[in-house]
Amino acid sequence: MIELYYTVLNAVFSPLLVLGPAVAEAVIAVMLSFFSVLFYRYFSDHTRLREIERKLKKTEKTEEVLELVRERFRLSMKPMIFGMLLVLAFIPWISHTFSGPVVELPFSLPLLGSDIGWLAWYIIVSIPATLIFRKTLLGV
């Protein structure tokens, strides 16, 4: 079953895989970040979230702050789960496809060395991509 999953994703992403592991994984990470932000945009109540943020800035009572934070968390939970499920669906395939070093640096970094594996590369690419997409699509 898992081999069928890998075969399907390899076929779908075969044009990207030809570009090399660093570029292919970077494009996949950017795509996953984009779709995660889209889930957040379309599955959350931005008007209510902005209202909560305004109230949080004005509120000084601990009980009120806790209630507002709980509500903000509840509103953010559904889109966060959709985004996480999307990413988690791809992680086994990314791990299988990009085993070994993805990026080889001409110098050595502390804690990373001169080779960057698939997970570190995914994190390095996806965090800035997510921040950019959140800023452009959500204005956050």
CB 101 within 8 A of CB 117: yes
Q: What is the pTM of this model?
A: 0.84
Spell out the domain ranges in the chain. 2-7+16-43+79-138
pLDDT in tens, 42-76: 888 888 888 998 988 888 888 888 999 999 999 88
Lookup: tokens for 87: 């990413």
pLDDT in tens, 1-15: 888 999 999 999 999
CB 92 within 8 A of CB 2: yes
> Dihedral sign, CA of 137, 127, 70, 86?
positive
CA distance 97 to 47: 41
- Please report, in angstroms and rounded to a whole number, the separation of the first and last CA atoms in the chain: 40
Mean pLDDT, range 79-89, rounded to an integer: 91
pLDDT in tens, 100-117: 889 998 888 887 788 999
